Amino acid sequence: MTSKKEKIREAIHEKIKKETDADTYQKWLDDNPERKLLKERIRAIKQENIREIKIGSPEKIEERFFKKNKMLKPRHSRDIGRLISLIKSFALLNLWFREKDGSAIVANDDDIEEAFKIWEATSESQELNLSPYIFDLYKNVILPLFEEKNQIAATEIVNEAGILRQEIIQKNYQLNGRLIPDWELRLHIIPMLENAGLIRQEADPNDKRKMLIYPTTSLTISKEQNNSELNGGVNKI
C-alpha cells in the first residue's frame, strides 16, 4: 500500500510535469493506457442504455447496515441512500459481468462487498461528524502520543499523563511534515473532538494556565488496519 509521503511525492511530481509543459502532459494523459481504458468503458456503458440497476440481495445490505449502526440516527436514512448508490456504481462499471433483466442489470454480492469496504473506511468519522482529516489526526497523532507518554508515566508510577497542544503540533510535524497553527488546534480541532466525545480537557495541576488533553476512547483504535483500498471489484474489459 502506498504511504502518505509517497502519495504526496507523486502529487508533486505530477504537478511539476503539468505546469512545466502542459502540451506534453496532456499528450501523456491522452496516451495513458489506463485512462484510455476508462474512457472506452464509460463510452461503452452509455451505449448499453441501462435504465435501471436492481440489487439482488437487499436483505444482506439491511442486515449489515443495521449490524454496523445499532443506535439509529436521522442521518442514517441519508447514509443508506449513498451506500446503495455506491453498490449500483460498482454494478454499472461491471455491467457486462452482471445478470441482465431487459434494460436493467442486477448488482450482486461482490458489488455490495466492495461498496461496504469504501463506506466503512469513512463511516467512523462521519458518525462522529468529523472530517477525515481531524479524525486521522486523532487516531494517528493524538492517541499514539498519549500512549507514548503514559508508557513512560507507568514506569514512574504516576497518574495518567495528559498531553499539551504544543506536543500535538510537534508530533504532527514529525509524522506529516505540517505545522498546525495553535489557533486552529485550540479554536477548531480540539472543540470538535470534545463535541464528538473523543477527548476531555483538564487544567494542568502544575500550571493552571495550561490545559491537558486526555483521550476518552480505547488506545487500540490507533492500531486498526486501514481498509480504504478502492481498487477492488472492477474488472477490465
The number of residues making up the chain comes to 237
For domain 132-223, give the CATH superfamily.
LOTUS domain-like (3.30.420.610)
pTM metric for this prediction: 0.56
99 forms beta bridges with 106
Q: Give CATH 3.30.420.610 domain extents, the chain.
A: 132-223
Digits of tens for pLDDT over the chain (237 positions)?
556 677 778 888 888 888 888 888 888 888 888 888 888 888 999 998 999 999 999 999 999 899 887 788 787 888 899 899 999 999 999 999 999 988 999 999 999 999 999 888 777 777 777 888 899 899 999 999 999 888 866 565 556 788 999 999 999 998 888 889 999 999 999 999 999 889 999 988 888 888 999 998 754 443 444 433 334 444 444
| Contacts (Cβ under 8 Å, ≥6 apart) of 33 | none
CA distance 49 to 126: 34
Output the nine-digit C-alpha cell for 108. 450482486
pLDDT score at 229 = 36
Cα–Cα distances in Å, from 2 out to 8, 34, 226, 228, 234? 10, 18, 12, 12, 20
b/e map 54-70, b = 16+ CB within 10 Å:
ebeeeeebeebbeeeee
For 1-44, the pLDDT digits (tens) are 556 677 778 888 888 888 888 888 888 888 888 888 888 888 99
